[in-house]
C-alpha cells in the first residue's frame, strides 16, 4: 500500500519536473500539508493538469481527485498550485519557504446541489471522474466578466450528470463554477 502511494506521488511530480518547472517539490509539500499523506492513495485515480487557469500567462498545476477518506462528506477535490504571489491573495494557502501557493476547491458528491457531482461508485473508487482542459466559451466569458487572457478552464465529468466547469476570476481571486 505504501509503495503504491509513493509511486503515485512520483508519477504526479514527474511531468512538471520534465517541463522544467521548479515547483514540483513545493507542490508536493503543499499537497501533503493541506490534504495529509493519504491523498496520494486516493489520487491513483485522479488527474494532473497543467494550464494557465489564473490568466497570468504562466502555467499552473491542478490536481483533481475523488476523496476516499473524508469522514464528514463525499467530495471531489481540486487543488490549484501556482507560483507564490506577494502579497498572498486571499483564500490561497502557503507554507513558509515554499515558492508556490495552493487554492483548494471541494465539490460535493451526491448531494443534488447545483454544483455537486453525481455519486458514481464504479470501481476502482472514483474512476468515473475525469477532469480535462477546455476552451472558455464566449457565453461563459461574458457571464463571468472574465478577461480575454482567460482562455481555458476545467471540465469535470462524473460520467453521470452534466459536466461542471471550473474557471478562475483573477480580479476576485476565486474560482467560478458553471454547469453545461
User: Could you read off the pLDDT of 168-177 as tens digits, one per residue?
Assistant: 999 999 999 9
The model's pTM: 0.83
Whether the Cβ atoms of residue 80 and residue 111 lie closer than 8 Å to each other: no
Kindly report the backbone phi and psi dihedral angles of residue 72, in degrees, each rounded to the nearest multiple of 5, phi listed first: -90, -40
Contacts of 76 (CB under 8 A, 6+ apart): 64, 65, 66, 67, 106, 107, 108, 109, 117, 126, 129, 156, 158
Place of cell 504571489: 85
Q: What is the pLDDT of residue 126?
A: 66
Q: How confident is the model at residue 36 (pLDDT cuts 50, 70, 90)?
A: confident
Question: Over the stretch 7-35, which tens digit does the pLDDT of each residue have?
Answer: 444 444 444 444 334 578 899 899 999 99
Whether the Cβ atoms of residue 65 and residue 78 lie closer than 8 Å to each other: no
Is the pLDDT assigned to residue 160 strictly greater than 50? yes
Is the pLDDT assigned to residue 68 strictly greater than 70? yes
| Sign for the pseudo-dihedral over CA of 163, 81, 110, 11 | positive
Question: Over the stretch 75-89, which tens digit does the pLDDT of each residue have?
Answer: 899 999 999 988 888
Grid cell, residue 92, equals 490561497
Q: How far is CA 98 from CA 30, 55, 59, 93, 95, in A?
A: 8, 22, 17, 11, 6
Amino acid at each position: 500500500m505504501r509503495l503504491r502511494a509513493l509511486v503515485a506521488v512520483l508519477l504526479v511530480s514527474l511531468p512538471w519536473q520534465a517541463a522544467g518547472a521548479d515547483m514540483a517539490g513545493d507542490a508536493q509539500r503543499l499537497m501533503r500539508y493541506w490534504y495529509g499523506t493519504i491523498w496520494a492513495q486516493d489520487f491513483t485515480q485522479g488527474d494532473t493538469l497543467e494550464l494557465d487557469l489564473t490568466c497570468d500567462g504562466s502555467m499552473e498545476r491542478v490536481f483533481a481527485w475523488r476523496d476516499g477518506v473524508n469522514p464528514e462528506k463525499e467530495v471531489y477535490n481540486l487543488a490549484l498550485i501556482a507560483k507564490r504571489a506577494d502579497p498572498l491573495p486571499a483564500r490561497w494557502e502557503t507554507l513558509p519557504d515554499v515558492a508556490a501557493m495552493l487554492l483548494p476547491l471541494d465539490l460535493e458528491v451526491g448531494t443534488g446541489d447545483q454544483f455537486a457531482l453525481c455519486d458514481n461508485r464504479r470501481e476502482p473508487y472514483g474512476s468515473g471522474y475525469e477532469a480535462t482542459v477546455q476552451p472558455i466559451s464566449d457565453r461563459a466569458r461574458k457571464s463571468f466578466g472574465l478577461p480575454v487572457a482567460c482562455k481555458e478552464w476545467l471540465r469535470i465529468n462524473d460520467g453521470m450528470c452534466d459536466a461542471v466547469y471550473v474557471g478562475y476570476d483573477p480580479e476576485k481571486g476565486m474560482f467560478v463554477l458553471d454547469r453545461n
